[in-house]
Structure 1
Amino acid sequence: MDIAQQILQVLNAQGQLELAGLGMLSLITKHAELDVQNDKILPPKKELIFNLDRGQKADNQFNGLSSQILKDLLENGNYDLAGIGKWTNFAGKINFVADSQIAGNDFYGFEEIEVPRVGADAPQLMPSLDEDYKFNKSILWTFLVVIPIAGILYVAFTQKDKLFGKSSFKSVELSKIEKQPTKPAVVDSLNVKPSDSIKSDSLSQPINNTIK
């Protein structure tokens, strides 16, 4: 059994592997995801990741491998372990890229799903789809504009007092004033004093008749 198979065996059993003075390899389960570049839906799978830790301590059968990886990174700038991945050292920064063909990296029985690309090259099965969409959109906007306005007008007329408050002055309806007919005065003949006809006649005679 080569070194790569031994590492995968430990990872499948424990989920992680310490590399002294280098870091830790971990085998995680990755959920289904959308591959936009290749237009595919990738099913769940296992993924190998590496966390750099120069202070990592370990006491296992892979201590010699850790020393060899560090030596090659310092001298050559990279170390490639077939079936596991590749370490690179660029300006003192160590990176790791897992091998795309990791043993045991199955898809749990699920297959990749290709997603058809929708764009300008796609055949137009319904030529009038755009026109129908514009027509439906105009109707929708009409309803969205007309219905709120109608509702506001309805509330304004029916709930005037709640919206604007009650008026401070109430309209008073003036009743028509009917003119009462005047009754003729009744003269009591018993209380009427007889006029002094003699006195009135003497006063009415001309003065010239008295002087002769």
Structure 2
Amino acid sequence: MNISAYILEYLKQFGSVTVPGFGVFYLENSKAIINSDNGSILPPSSQIAFTPDYGVKSDELAAFISSQKQSSIESSKNELLIQTDFWKKKLQADQMLEIQNLGSIFIEDGKTHFKGNRLESDHPDFYGLEEIRISDMNVDHSHTDNMANEYQFNTSLLWIFLFIVPVLGILYLTYTQPELLFGKKSFDEASAQVRTQEKVKEVVRVKYDSLQQKRSDSLKKDSLADPAAKNAGIQTNKNNIKATWQK
């Protein structure tokens, strides 16, 4: 394995790696993009980024390479130094440097830019999404038309249902409980008042008739009692006259 392969392996395991005397490579999330070269949609993934820093120091990458190659750390440091010196000289001479497995570095307007490679989306954060090739997507237009017609039919049924149900409900309430829709009629209250007044008049009339009946009965009794009293008085006078004549 070359140095760039070890850097990539370290990146996959730890997400960031410091290359002494050159800079820091790290991973960042990348959104789904459209690849215009082959007409495909690349899913979200990780992409390599780079920050140049020729003064940075670290022994972690050398120790990692040493453990992978089963060699000494000093040997790994020397390999890193040789590789980074070559990269810096080539970048200075060509204003562009292609690093295998990592990406490309180029200098423009005195500034260093890096275009990193995208890694395969095997990270669990991206749910194993795969590349989609637009050219492989065959659209069945007849199936699409059938779905559109079915959608229109279902929509029509829905509108009919939404219209009929409220109308039937209103008709039912109009027939069974019209007061819920229109309220109680005003003349019902007036009729109730009239009936109440008639009942009061009827009670008064009954009481009046009863009183009249009592007065009539009293007068009849008086009329029957007066002739008897008169007859008794006449009889008494006759007896008195008869007694006087006999004397």
Q: Which residue in the other structure is 2:56 paired with?
A: 57
Which of 110, 113, 120 does residue 95 from structure 1 map onto? 113
Aligned residue type for 2:107 = N
Q: In the TM superposition, what is the alpha-carbon distance from 1:82 to its structure 2 partner?
A: 2.9
CA distance, structure 1, for counterparts of residue 51 and residue 32 of structure 2: 28
Change (3 A) 1:127 1:86: closer
Bigger drift between 137-146 and 66-75 goes to: 66-75
Return the letter of the residue paired with 2:108.
F
| Residues 135/74 of structure 1: CA separation in 2 closer, same or farther (3 Å cut) | same
Mapped pair 1:117 → 2:137: yes
Secondary structure at the counterpart of residue 124 of structure 1: helix
TM-score of the two chains, using structure 2 as the length reference: 0.45
Contact 2:91 2:106 in 1 (8 A): yes
Equivalent residues of 1:73, 1:88 under 8 A apart: yes
Q: Deviations for 1:152-209, whole angstroms, at most 9, x for unmatched residues?
A: 9999x6996xxx9xxxxxx5553333233454743533569x9xxxxxxxxxxxxxxx
Partner of residue 4, structure 2:
4
The alpha carbon displacement at 1:50 in A equals 2.0
Secondary structure in 2 matching 1:7? helix
Structure 1 residues 95 and 6, CA gap change in structure 2 (3 angstroms): same
The 8 Å contact of residues 101 and 117 in structure 2, kept in 1 or not, is answered as yes
1:19–1:63 CA contact under 8 A, matched in 2: no
Residue 84 of structure 1: aligned partner = 102
Paired residue secondary structure (1:94): strand
Alignment of 1:128-207 (within 5 A): 128-144=146-162, 171=189, 173=193, 174-175=195-196, 176=198, 177-178=201-202, 179-180=205-206, 181=209, 182-183=212-213, 185=216, 186=219, 188-189=222-223
Question: What root-mean-square deviation, in Å, do the aligned CA atoms of Structure 1 and Structure 2 show?
Answer: 5.1
Q: Residues 128 and 9 of structure 1: is their aligned pair in 2 closer, same or farther, counting only changes over 3 Å?
A: closer
Over 3 Å counting, the alpha-carbon distance change for 1:92 and 1:154 in structure 2 is: farther
Inter-CA distance 130–12: structure 2 relative to 1 (3 Å threshold): closer
Question: 1:81 Cα deviation (Å)?
Answer: 1.8
What amino acid is aligned across from residue 19 of structure 1 in structure 2? V
Q: How many residues align?
A: 175
Q: Distance in 1 between matches of 2:153 and 2:113?
A: 56
SS in 1 for 2:137: coil
Deviation at 1:131, TM superposition (A): 2.8
| Residue 113 (structure 1) shift | 6.2
Specify the code of the residue in structure 2 equivalent to 1:49: I
Q: 1:93 to 1:151 in 2, by over 3 A?
A: farther
Question: Partners in 2 of 1:71 and 1:144 — Cα distance?
Answer: 77
Structure with larger Rg: 2
Instruction: State the partner residue of 2:73.
Output: none
Larger helix share, 1 or 2: 2
Q: Quick check: 2:40–2:131 contact (8 Å CA) kept in 1?
A: no
Give the Å deviation of 1:18.
0.8
